Amino acid sequence: MKKVMTLCAITLCIPIFAGCATSLCKQAATSSRSDVFIEVSDSTPVAAGESELSMSASLKTHREFDCPINPEHSHGTPDYRLLINIDGQALPITGEFKEENLTGSSIGDPESGIGIRYTFRKRLRLSAGQHRLIVSLPDDGIAVTRDIQLDAKSVNSLGIEPVYNLRSGARRSAALPAACFNEGIKSIRLNLNGREI
């Protein structure tokens, strides 16, 4: 009876958590402000009362034609995006992408194999202080939110790393890595100035 109750509780919680991620993805895509940050490309010194945030992400997805089940996705295409939202100002970021074959990489590498490598980079200038940050991969239904503190006249780096799904049981073995980019991205890990947040 206890197992049945636990199973029922888990079954009821899954749609709630899925709904939270969907809601956060929608929130990340919605701009309610336009005065939070500006994009910068030069190395102008940071003014008093401001801070700089350099964001970078590198992740791998399957090629476009490797997943015929879901033709609506944009994996493996130029339309695949990273979405950033800071204090209500949204910024869709288009990444550079190229086909990558890491067949000779180490055995435990979750990115080994043929796929599409995306690299996203953006530099922003914003006021110093506390900010609410949402990072989303809308095509994967993933979004995470964090509060970040940026000091005045500081130059900060935000590293965005994928956490890949585990291989399905039938394909898992000691010779293959437990996680694999072909299984999709299950979460995002954020590092601000080298520390996980």
Query: What's the whole-number mean pLDDT along residues 97-111?
Result: 79
Alpha-carbon span 114 to 118, nearest angstrom = 13
What is the pTM for the complete model shown?
0.79
- Strands 96-101 and 154-164, how do they pair? unpaired
- Examine the pLDDT at 126 and tell me if it is beyond 90: yes
Cα distance between residue 122 and residue 70, in whole Å: 29
Q: Are strands 50-61 and 81-86 parallel, antiparallel or unpaired?
A: unpaired
Determine the structural domain holding residue 45 and report its residue range: 2-196
Give the Å distances, CA to CA, from 69 to 65, 76, 111, 118, 170. Answer: 10, 14, 22, 22, 19
For the chain, percent of residues with pLDDT exceeding 70: 79
Q: Which residue has the tokens 């979460």?
A: 187
Give backbone dihedrals phi and psi of 165, rounded to 5 degrees, phi first. -65, 155
The total number of structural domains that make up the chain: 1
Q: Is 120 a residue whose pLDDT tops 70?
A: yes
Average pLDDT over residues 47-58: 96
DSSP 45: P
pLDDT for residue 4 is more than 60: no
Average pLDDT over every residue of 96-100: 92
CA-nearest of 144, 34, 129 to 82 is 144
- Pull the structure tokens for residue 56: 């970078």
Quote the mean pLDDT of the chain.
83
Q: Which carries the bigger pLDDT value, residue 103 or residue 99? A: 99
Whether 9 has a pLDDT exceeding 50, the answer reads no
Is residue 126 within 8 A of residue 150, CB to CB? The reply is yes
- The pLDDT > 90 percentage for the chain reads 54
| pLDDT single digits (tens) 141-186 | 999 999 999 999 999 999 999 999 887 764 555 555 578 888 889 9
Separation between Cα atoms, residue 71 and residue 129, nearest integer Å: 42
Residue-level pLDDT at 104: 64
Predicted confidence at residue 5, as pLDDT, reads: 45
For 14-18, 50-54, 73-77, which range has the lowest pLDDT when averaged over its residues? 14-18
